Structure 1
Amino acid sequence: MSLNRRKFTDEFKADAVQLVVQGQRPIAQVARELEINESSLGYWVKTYRQQHPDPETAPAPVDAARIARLEAENRRLAEENAFLKEAAAFFAREQK
């Protein structure tokens, strides 16, 4: 018997956490509505709260996920830029 694990996007997780954190609704209720496991949602909420211990200064879960995605993209683009600079310097040396 093959078990297919469901994979959730970071945006989906952030939306689910936001329903719990900002909506003041129980994890069990939100999990039932979204048809996901309570323990998964509970883990996502716990992780968010550990990363943002002060609820008044914490960004919304959706914003936090968006910021993380943009930071990862920024790192990737910086690495690509550094590689292209090195490649341009290499080919400039080869032309001489």
Structure 2
Amino acid sequence: MGSTRRSFTPEYKANAVSLVIDDGRAIAEVARSIGVHEMTLGKWVKKSRDEGNGESDRPLNEDERAELERLREEVKHARMEAEFAKKVATWFAKDPR
């Protein structure tokens, strides 16, 4: 008796995942339309997102780039404050009074 398990090409999986990720359609809807179980398609989508094939490949727009710069400056400032607080704590700990 042969195997009843279906196999799908990587291209087929990529197209199905694209319908969910790029087109914003529901996994259940796409699974019904292509004749695949929801759980199977869900695993493909999860694997694709885990591998970083989602939105991370697209370039940042101006607003996102500005937000990134602002957050980097904020982190830099917070690190400087933390370093200063460590130095002050060390200085007070060494004070013989």
Secondary structure of the 2:20 match is helix
Q: Unmatched 5+ residue regions in structure 1?
A: 59-96
**Is there any run of 5+ residues in structure 2 with no aligned partner, and where?**
59-97
Q: Alignment identity in percent?
A: 43
Q: Does residue 50 in structure 1 map to residue 31 in structure 2?
A: no
Counterpart of 1:37 in structure 2 is 37
Deviation (angstroms), 1:56: 3.8
Distance 2:36 2:53 in 1: 25
| Rounded Cα–Cα distance in structure 2 between residues aligned with 1:54 and 1:12 | 17
TM score, norm. by length of structure 1: 0.54
- Structure 1 vs Structure 2 CA RMSD: 2.0
Question: How many residue pairs were aligned?
Answer: 58
Q: Which runs of 4+ in 1 moved over 6 A?
A: none
Give me the TM-score of the superposition, normalised by structure 2: 0.54
Higher relative contact order (CA 8 A, sep 6+): 1
Call closer, same or farther: CA 1:26–1:5 in 2, change over 3 Å: same
